[in-house]
């Protein structure tokens, strides 16, 4: 049992969701917990899942003030009018691009650590809801950068105001696995990568299996119980022995090009550990095997088994129909899931059912979504069991990593306040 301490609800949200949570939480204190998010202090780990309703983004401040962002998605409303009815409205509103909202949020949070730069930007894979979308040639919607020949959206919007020291993706520098990355969105990202050096930044290919690529940069000697293990990318999965990896996908020479591993399956994955606390993030990995045509297709379970049990897991592929399978859940058994939602299919019913299943593993767990399409709460009755359906989801881990708390900040307005607070929970 990992959620073995008191659980507090934020004052503002208590009446709203207390009924929904009563079956999930062990106990609720009469005392309201933190109604504000304490600013970062040395020794703390903060993980902010930033809610824009338009893609994935996590901002991390590590215990020594090293900073990291994982993805900065930004789907453009109106770019594909047929899709708009399925997607979530921009949070807090459409007056700025999602990447600009991310940059604004990040600027505020980073200043708490006296930082104004991102040491590591991890791009899980080359899709717009993770790297950002631009509208080619529409400079009114996607302006040109002042730093290079590319347009602004997602990560490029972030980098326009907050310097990024190192970008790590799955394919630098040749971008050729399993075949050259197609399309104008990637071309825009590539132009950004090529111009990084102008501002003193660098790009690197993610090294699966390593725990030396993403390290504390400012005071690593003080936090020897912190590590980021690179679990997987391009189908190469850490074995658990040293830095070794095993190829989960067959050699490309044995596959027809139409059966090459798709972009989502190539997503990079990490496990972050701080003391007893651990966090899993694997982009849009999935378990689709196409009725046996891809017997190697279940990359998400292989990656989750490499990670082992964790406290917090980001739902693979936004909790979509091809992800968060029962084997994935069984391998991770987290105390909290986070769904980065931007579509009515985030999550789908089976994925959510797996996350909540007492048959797969017993005990309490909290499921958070950064945003929710109203129709999803009708289509999926169990959405009522979520700890929170809306807002920035923030994990706060005190020095030593023996416990964690969860805060939810209102994302319907800029600079939203804390609307719910959970924990503290002991890590076991």
Between 129 and 288, name the residue whose CB sits nearer to Zn ion: 129
Strand ranges (DSSP E) for 109-263? 120-122, 166-169, 202-205, 226-233, 236-238, 245-247
DSSP 423: E
The one segment of 236-244, 278-286, 375-383, 396-404 that binds Zn ion by CB under 5 A = 278-286
CB nearer to Zn ion: pick between 36 and 83:
83
Mapped onto helix, strand or coil, the DSSP state of residue 196 is helix
Which residue of 119, 129, 322, 343 would you call a contact of Zn ion, by CB under 5 A?
129
Interface characters, 378-397, with Zn ion (x: CB under 5 A): --------------------
CB-nearer residue toward Zn ion: 119 or 343: 343
For 399, phi and psi rounded to 5 degrees? -50, 135
Nearer to Zn ion, 298 or 316 (CB): 316
Tell the smallest beta-carbon distance from residue 231 to Zn ion (Å).
Answer: 18
Q: How far is the CB of 74 from Zn ion (least distance, A)?
A: 12
Least Å distance, CB 284 to Zn ion, is 4
Q: Which is nearer to Zn ion, 284 or 286 (CB)?
A: 284
The nearer residue to Zn ion, 129 or 300, going by C-beta atoms, is: 129
Residue 93's φ and ψ, nearest 5 degrees, are -165, 180
Cβ at position 329, least distance to Zn ion in Å: 19
Which is it for strands 226-233 and 269-274: parallel, antiparallel or unpaired?
antiparallel
State which residue, 284 or 298, has the beta carbon closest to Zn ion: 284
DSSP string over 34-59? -SSPPPP-TT-EEEEE---SSS-EEE
How far apart are CB 127 and Zn ion at their closest, in Å?
5
Q: CB of 142: closest distance to Zn ion in angstroms?
A: 19
**How many residues of this chain bind Zn ion (CB under 5 A)?**
2
Which C-beta is closer to Zn ion: that of 129 or that of 410?
A: 129
x-or-dash pattern for Zn ion, window 284-303, by CB under 5 A? x-------------------
| Phi, psi of 144, rounded to the nearest 5 degrees | -70, 145
**Rounded to whole angstroms, how far apart are CA atoms 318 and 320?**
5
CA-CA distance, 94 to 100, in Å (whole number)?
10
Q: Write down the H helix ranges in 25-154.
A: 81-84, 98-111, 128-131
Q: How far is the CB of 141 from Zn ion (least distance, A)?
A: 21
Partnered with residue 67 across adjacent β-strands are 61
CB-neighbour burial class of residue 381 (10 A; exposed 0-12, middle 13-18, buried 19+): exposed
Taking alpha carbons only, the member of 346, 345, 334 closest to residue 404 is 334
Per CB under 5 A, the segment of 123-131, 171-179, 218-226, 229-237 that binds Zn ion is: 123-131
Task: Work out how close the CB of 170 gets to Zn ion at its nearest, in angstroms, rounded to a whole number.
Answer: 14
- Least distance (Å) from Zn ion to the CB of residue 52? 13
Cβ proximity to Zn ion, 68 vs 131, nearer residue:
131
| Cα 214 to Cα 36: distance, rounded to the nearest angstrom | 30
Residue 58 and residue 235: Cα distance in Å, rounded? 23
Q: Is 343 in the site for Zn ion (CB under 5 A)?
A: no
423: number of Cβ within 10 Å: 23
Q: Which stretch binds Zn ion (CB under 5 A): 24-32, 129-137, 164-172, 207-215?
A: 129-137
List interacting residues with Zn ion (CB under 5 A).
129, 284
């Amino acid at each position: 049992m990992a959620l073995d301490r008191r659980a507090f609800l934020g004052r503002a949200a208590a009446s709203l969701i207390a009924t929904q949570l009563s079956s999930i939480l062990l106990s609720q204190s009469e005392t309201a917990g933190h109604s504000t998010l304490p600013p970062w202090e040395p020794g703390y780990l903060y993980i902010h899942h930033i809610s824009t309703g338009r893609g994935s983004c996590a901002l991390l401040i590590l215990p020594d003030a090293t900073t990291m962002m994982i993805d900065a998605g930004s789907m453009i409303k109106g770019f594909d009018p047929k899709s708009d009815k399925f997607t979530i409205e921009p949070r807090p509103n459409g007056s700025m691009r999602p990447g600009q909202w991310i940059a604004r949020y990040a600027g505020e949070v980073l200043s708490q650590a006296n930082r104004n730069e991102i040491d590591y930007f991890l791009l899980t894979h080359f899709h717009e809801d993770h790297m950002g979308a631009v509208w080619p040639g529409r400079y009114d919607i996607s302006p040109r950068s002042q730093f290079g020949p590319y347009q602004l959206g997602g990560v490029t919007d972030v980098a326009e105001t907050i310097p990024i020291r190192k970008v790590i993706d799955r394919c630098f520098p040749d971008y050729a696995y399993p075949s050259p990355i197609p399309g104008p969105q990637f071309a825009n990202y590539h132009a950004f990568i090529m111009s990084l050096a102008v501002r003193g930044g660098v790009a690197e290919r993610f090294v699966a299996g390593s725990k030396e690529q993403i390290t504390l940069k400012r005071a690593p000697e003080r936090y020897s119980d912190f590590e980021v293990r690179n679990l997987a990318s391009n189908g190469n999965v850490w074995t658990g022995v040293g830095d070794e990896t095993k190829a989960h996908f067959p050699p490309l020479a044995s596959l027809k090009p139409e059966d090459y591993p798709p972009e989502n399956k190539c997503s990079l994955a990490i496990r972050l550990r701080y003391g007893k606390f651990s966090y899993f993030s694997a982009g849009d990995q999935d378990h689709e095997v196409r009725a046996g045509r891809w017997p190697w297709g279940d990359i998400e379970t292989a990656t989750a088994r490499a990670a082992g049990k964790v406290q917090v897991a980001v739902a693979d592929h936004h909790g979509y129909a091809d992800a968060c399978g029962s084997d994935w859940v069984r391998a991770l058994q987290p105390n909290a899931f986070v769904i980065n939602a931007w579509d009515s299919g985030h999550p789908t019913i089976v994925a959510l059912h797996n996350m909540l299943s007492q048959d797969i593993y017993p005990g309490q767990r909290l499921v958070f979504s950064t945003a929710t399409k109203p129709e999803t709460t009708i289509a999926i009755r169990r959405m009522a069991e979520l700890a929170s359906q809306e807002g920035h989801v923030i994990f706060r881990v005190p020095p030593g990593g023996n416990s964690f708390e969860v805060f939810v900040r209102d994302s319907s307005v800029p600079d939203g306040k804390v609307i719910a607070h959970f924990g503290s929970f002991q890590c076991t």
